[in-house]
Amino acid sequence: MTEMVLRSKMKRTGQTAAAETDLRADTDVKVSLISKIAYGMGDVGCNFSWMFVGNFLMIFYTDVFGISMGAVAGLMLFSRFWDAVNDPIIGSLTDRTHSRWGRYRPWLLVAAPLTAVVLILTFWAHPGWNSTAKIVYMGITYCILVLGYTCVNIPYGTLCGAMTQNIEERAQINTFRSVAAMIAIGIINIITVPLIETLGAGSDKRGYLLIAVIYGGIFALCHMFCFAKTREVVAIPERKKISLKEQLRAVSRNRPYILALAGQMLFGFTLYGRNADALYYFTYVEGNKAFFTVYSMCIIIPSIIGAACFPMLFHWTNNKGRAASIFAFLTGMSMMGLGMFTAKESPILFYGVSALTQFFFSGFNTAIYAIIPDCVEYGEWKTGLRNDGFQYAFISLGNKMGMALGTSLLAMVLGMCGYVAGGQQNSAVLAVIKHSFTTIPGMFWIITGIVLFFYRLNRRRYNEIMKEMYTGGV
């Protein structure tokens, strides 16, 4: 990019020459090991809240709290309208935050402990309430929980791009994040069901509440550690206030970002719909919810290895989107194959294919989040506008919209087919539960792989863009 174009970009975004110099001071920052670990711990905290919610809240609502499938489906859809309002607002607020700790880290310090309290309240089920009171309480606590999680997750996700602009370092940071997440998810899935029985001492209500207290504490502490041991070193220059319309126009011109957004929405739909179905699957199709713990133990090591393999595939493809595409396609093929087996009749094949599926999924999970900071740089180069938090807000919204559609559709179909909480299920319900765990998400993973195949921002092009922006030449 010529000097004239750089000056033109500065004029459009309201940047001063001094701010531009500060921004360009160091784009190749190496991140310390402790900072990478601390960033990974942030996702440990996220999963001890959000993955716990995604995997267990729906069955808690229907089988423990006594709320109908129809009401749960309605809540999931309504909450996405709520997200559509608050996600972009929180994203814009993080971009405009100013403190001695940076733009994004203060949100982790303040919002995480408050959200932990709401998580506990979400899993507090009063036995004497009537159906209307339960539904109102469910709606209020869930919507506040979603808002709290937004106030933590958007600045947490955006923080990666503020730690460095080195594409290799970002890949490593997101690998630490994904490996930590896979460990956390594995632990949650292995210990939660036994803990419900142990802590509850015969009362699932008490068991879920005490687990929420423990997981809420872990959520808050992990983000406080992330806050303490990370640093924001990519200085964002001061700029004039930019309208929502202008920000949306800039986002629409960012093709890599649009593909990442589509991938996140498909990711949310497929992952959370399947996760919500998992405990139903082992309880009603396999006939023993203890199998869920065995399943979780079998997939934890492949999860960690798969997440750690992303840098190797990125090195081979030189394209994070293509790496994500390959992982997604292989996840889909493995998941389709899983539908041929059951844990009761073919345990070795069932758990073996499950492990393979999780290996590929974990690689995808690392890749899809590693894409986002690069899309921010591309957008700045393309439009002259840098709005990290705003863009990550739409990524978060896309993921949560997918989650809402996946879980609400599952609840809706199960309700229509005659699901009976805690009772004997008919053949239609069992078929829906089985295919929602295997073949249906498998097809959507393949579609996700096809979408991300068209991601074109490879390593060479990214480095050219960075050189163009920060040195004024190729």
* Same fold yes or no, 32-234 and 243-473: yes
Question: Is the pLDDT at 304 greater than 80, yes or no?
Answer: yes
Instruction: Assign 247 a pLDDT band (cuts: 50, 70, 90).
Output: confident
Half-sphere exposure of 193 (CA within 13 A, CB side): 20
Average pLDDT over residues 275-300: 92
Question: Is the pLDDT at 289 greater than 90, yes or no?
Answer: no
Instruction: Assign 250 a pLDDT band (cuts: 50, 70, 90).
Output: confident
Average pLDDT over residues 326-344: 95
What is the pLDDT, as a whole number, of residue 5?
A: 35
- SS (HEC) of 379-407: HHHHHCCCCHHHHHHHHHHHHHHHHHHHH
Residue pair 219/116 in contact (Cβ under 8 Å)? The answer is yes
Instruction: Assign 391 a pLDDT band (cuts: 50, 70, 90).
Output: confident
Question: Is the pLDDT at 17 greater than 50, yes or no?
Answer: no
Residue pair 379/95 in contact (Cβ under 8 Å)? The answer is no
User: Which of 123, 300, 153, 320 is CA-nearest to residue 216?
Assistant: 123
Mean pLDDT (the chain, rounded): 86
- Nearest 5 degrees, angle CA 372-CA 377-CA 378? 90
Residue pair 82/147 in contact (Cβ under 8 Å)? The answer is yes
What is the pLDDT, as a whole number, of residue 402?
A: 83
Half-sphere exposure of 451 (CA within 13 A, CB side): 21
- Global confidence as pTM: 0.76
CATH code for the structural domain at 243-473: 1.20.1250.20
Tokens of 98: 């100013």
What is the pLDDT, as a whole number, of residue 14?
A: 43
Q: What are phi and psi of 342, to 5 degrees?
A: -130, 155
Q: What are phi and psi of 395, to 5 degrees?
A: -65, -45
What is the pLDDT, as a whole number, of residue 359?
A: 96
Q: What percent of the chain is modeled with pLDDT above 70? A: 91
Residue pair 147/118 in contact (Cβ under 8 Å)? The answer is no
Tokens of 206: 């008490």
Residue pair 242/251 in contact (Cβ under 8 Å)? The answer is no
Average pLDDT over residues 304-324: 91
With b for 16 or more beta-carbon neighbours within 10 A and e for fewer, the 17-29 pattern comes to eebbeebeeebee
pLDDT per residue over 398-423, tens digit each? Answer: 887 887 788 889 999 999 999 998 88
- The helix or strand, by DSSP H or E, that contains position 450, with its residue range, turns out to be helix 439-452
What is the pLDDT, as a whole number, of residue 470?
A: 66
Instruction: Assign 210 a pLDDT band (cuts: 50, 70, 90).
Output: very high
What is the pLDDT, as a whole number, of residue 20?
A: 40
Task: Report the C-alpha gap between 411 and 434 in whole angstroms.
Answer: 14
Task: Report the C-alpha gap between 394 and 90 in whole angstroms.
Answer: 10
- The CA–CA distances, whole Å, from 6 to 165, 322, 381, 384 equal 18, 30, 9, 9
- The CA–CA distances, whole Å, from 389 to 203, 236, 278, 320 equal 42, 12, 32, 21
User: Which of 424, 404, 429, 416 is CA-nearest to residue 69?
Assistant: 416
Grouping H, G, I as helix, E, B as strand and the rest as coil, residue 341 is coil
User: Which of 46, 163, 174 is CA-nearest to residue 104?
Assistant: 163
Grouping H, G, I as helix, E, B as strand and the rest as coil, residue 16 is coil
Question: Is the pLDDT at 183 greater than 80, yes or no?
Answer: yes
Instruction: Assign 373 a pLDDT band (cuts: 50, 70, 90).
Output: confident
Q: What percent of the chain is modeled with pLDDT above 90? A: 49
Going by the DSSP 8-state scheme, the letter that residue 234 receives in this structure is S
Give the residue carrying structure tokens 């319309």: 245
With b for 16 or more beta-carbon neighbours within 10 A and e for fewer, the 165-199 pattern comes to bbbebbbbbbbbbbbbbbbbbbbbbbebbebbeeb
CATH code for the structural domain at 32-234: 1.20.1250.20
Grouping H, G, I as helix, E, B as strand and the rest as coil, residue 218 is helix
Q: Where are the domains of the chain?
A: 32-234, 243-473
What is the pLDDT, as a whole number, of residue 137?
A: 93
Q: What are phi and psi of 127, to 5 degrees?
A: -70, -25
pLDDT per residue over 74-128, tens digit each? Answer: 887 787 677 777 777 888 888 788 888 888 999 999 999 999 999 999 999 777 7
Task: Report the C-alpha gap between 146 and 205 in whole angstroms.
Answer: 21
